[in-house]
Structure 1
């Protein structure tokens, strides 16, 4: 078979002369479908929960293991790097192992890795277990989408995606609050141990219900070069994004080396995968208009959303003196409307153009971020919670229609590859968005600090008079008055810098709306996301 350009069908699919893939098993019904949905969704929830639950426990983990907090952050970094490498391999692994065996096996390995994390006696063992955990977690989200779509009738595909989105959005939101509560009340080991009963139930129920619905298995050649190049650019890029701020970005030789390595490896990876007969990742999916537009739209939006989701609790803890648990509880209402509106979305989407719903979601995000751009340092809890609660509305309108657009028209045997690749791009953009958001918040804070202190010097009589009044009023000396002034300026500068990020985020959501409209019209019940046209 000759090499194909980007716009041609994937050579990873059977050749035209091959026998067509067998018909997929019939949809499930009744109690069997309810239990199947719960089991698959539970595995998804366990996975996405673990991406954020460890974040608030890093200081405690570092202290217990006798390492610095900076070294402790590798617990997050290595998981993200391993996860980023494994997600796009989902389609290729599914062909070799089978969809159900891969899904159940990944859950069981995730349980094992969680147990190893919980009993880790030192940082080296913990990092090794987290690498394993991140690697086996990769196929869980794209396969959960594919399995749910195959379990529901085509006309109910939007309901399947709605239920999946509900668990996928609630997990990262509940993670910080749950992680903080477990760490404060029990031990950090239990943030990993709680996965064991959840994972065992999900794996057992899934195998019981789906073992006779396994997908066909074929043995495509192992694209060793493509896999090596994937690891060679994804791993250093993920590490660069996670450690860039700590190492002062490109002022550090380590970051420069990582960036060059990732760039060169990525260039070779593109050339190799687009000319390889059986690529490990089917990049030709980007030749489809809906996959291209939908993936870019959901990834950019997720980058902005997730970057802000990281900044908000960090700001509350550093400048508003919120405990980690309280900061997590303030962000938790984000999941309220996501849960309430999920079944409604499942009914509305089949009768509505998915592009219109996604557009409303982006407008909703813009409104929420504009509300946050008006924060002041005296903001109370109500005004912190209100935009977070309202943000759940566009969250409910966000994942489902864009996922329907991305998977529209994909035959069943290509859904794992399409879902895996789109999820990989989305998750990776989330990491990029987090790095950009934190870096720009720091830059904007420094800028506002400079502007606020331009006239605050001993040569300014107004400044001298104000400092004297402060000393007299509070009965403190000059050093204490200067320290108080510096604290006030730092707090105000951070608030102004964060408001800038919120405002820019609102603008970005409005600017990327045209990405939605480069795709073809899709209605949830007629997109045929689970079958070929």
Structure 2
């Protein structure tokens, strides 16, 4: 392949991957608008995020199999077309559950855009230039989810939420057309034997059931609800059976045997934790900014923009350090500490926290992600045989998406429980003997009486304002508790980095597109 065609193909597949990753977060700041426009509760509207994540998690580990079965070129272009068509249908939806359905199908199409794009980029670089490939793909992995809320905020506030889906159409058409002329089959091909329909079914049932339990468990009072109990049992049985089945048969749809590689196993765990931190922070920050601090969608989206810009510099620094022989352990440790510091600062925020402070905190998050992306991506595939790289890359990508999907569900559940706890705690201080409470109620009562409201009604309104303040404060405390929990998770996981020490040396030349 000529140098120009090679560069165009790299740009095309990276653009497709970024488009897919943007869609994982672009809806975050538009949930309130979708909820009001479609007449749905905010809780039901979060399924717009969850359904996409479930589809991604199901399809990503199947990508290697589907690429082999259908041909990489056919599968990739077909996935882009599915993604584009479903993007149009999402924007045209008039009910929340129609939107959720097409969002799920969009996620099925999007899964290939991530894994196949990564495999193509790595294939286009020789072994000694894999650091370049990792850095290039790393930029897309980080920038996509990070600029998603910024784009979503600007579009939602200045236009309308369906446009966040419609913008995929011209990009997708351009990517599909370019791939039609440029994309070829992989250099190393594997033959498809029998289709592992059992494995596919067990994976879909297990992941779908587990994700539904995590998403709906808190609302349905967990095991007090019959279908939650049933789905929990189903998830356990299906996923256990899936693992045993895939390890047993000769031609599994997901080759779990690649996890015999210690480096891939360690990278997958760390990538899972990174996914939790990456996606939950992008989910929580817009919610706090809009619902509690009163930011507009555009202001909310712009909070993440400086971090995204600095992250690009961080990725280049990370690559440079690897190139100069700095141990990946040091860089990954720095990334974890940046993330711990970010979560600690967000844990300490209050209702008077400024946009500047949040933006500054998010820069540490961005640096953390920048220092984790390249070394972890390289680590995941560094010890794999060339024929196993697509499967290893798919599984590692699945762990990131799985971490994000599970993380958001767990944070929702944890926050809901903490709201009740904080509310009880705060109300215990609101008594008739508390002079601050008495002054606040009298002040609100006088305010409403000045507006011509009778004393008894003014008193009721004053109590209502006190209650609203309690709800707002307890909600904020529940979210900051979630940041603290994620920070603890990163700290507890930190010792796993010791396993990276014995891994292969990772090098990363300059992040440029080479003709070699």
The TM-score normalised by the length of structure 2 is 0.89
User: Match for 1:521 among 495, 503, 512?
Assistant: 503
Larger mean CA deviation between 476-485 and 38-47 belongs to 476-485
Q: Give how far 1:85 is off.
A: 1.2
Distance 1:269 1:423 in 2: 19
Paired residue for 1:284? 257
Distance 1:488 1:229 in 2: 47
Q: What is the DSSP-based 3-state SS (H/G/I as helix, E as strand, rest coil) of the residue aligned with 1:438?
A: helix
Q: Give how far 1:296 is off.
A: 0.5
Paired residue for 1:14? none
User: Match for 1:425 among 396, 399, 420?
Assistant: 399
Paired residue for 2:27? 54
Q: What is the DSSP-based 3-state SS (H/G/I as helix, E as strand, rest coil) of the residue aligned with 2:303?
A: helix
| Cα 1:291/1:206, change in 2 over 3 Å | same
Distance 1:369 1:464 in 2: 32
Map 1:348-363; keep pairs closer than 5 Å: 348-350=321-323, 351-363=325-337
Paired residue for 1:487? 468
In structure 1, stretches of 5+ residues that fail to align are 1-27, 528-533
Alignment check: 8 A CA contact 2:154 2:301 kept: no
Alignment check: 8 A CA contact 2:444 2:462 kept: yes
Map 1:35-434; keep pairs closer than 5 Å: 35-61=8-34, 64=37, 70-120=43-93, 126-211=99-184, 215-350=188-323, 351-434=325-408
Q: What is the DSSP-based 3-state SS (H/G/I as helix, E as strand, rest coil) of the residue aligned with 1:333?
A: helix
Distance 1:124 1:488 in 2: 33
Alignment check: 8 A CA contact 1:179 1:191 kept: yes
**How many matched pairs?**
499
Q: Which has the higher helix share?
A: 2
| Cα 1:181/1:503, change in 2 over 3 Å | same
User: Match for 2:414 among 416, 440, 445?
Assistant: 440
Paired residue for 2:512? none
Distance 2:186 2:398 in 1: 26
Paired residue for 1:24? none
Alignment check: 8 A CA contact 1:84 1:424 kept: yes
Q: Give how far 1:524 is off.
A: 2.6
Which whole-Å deviations, capped at 9, do the CAs of 1:471-502 have from their partners, x for residues lacking one? 57646532233223223333333333333333
Q: Give how far 1:122 is off.
A: 5.3
Q: Give how far 1:240 is off.
A: 2.4
Larger mean CA deviation between 173-182 and 153-162 belongs to 173-182
Q: Give how far 1:30 is off.
A: 4.5
The TM-score normalised by the length of structure 1 is 0.86
Distance 1:183 1:444 in 2: 30
Alignment check: 8 A CA contact 1:40 1:202 kept: yes
Paired residue for 1:3? none
RMSD after superposition: 2.6
Larger mean CA deviation between 39-48 and 168-177 belongs to 168-177
Larger mean CA deviation between 238-247 and 413-422 belongs to 238-247
Distance 2:35 2:461 in 1: 33
Larger mean CA deviation between 142-151 and 90-99 belongs to 90-99
| Cα 1:468/1:315, change in 2 over 3 Å | closer
| Cα 1:436/1:127, change in 2 over 3 Å | closer
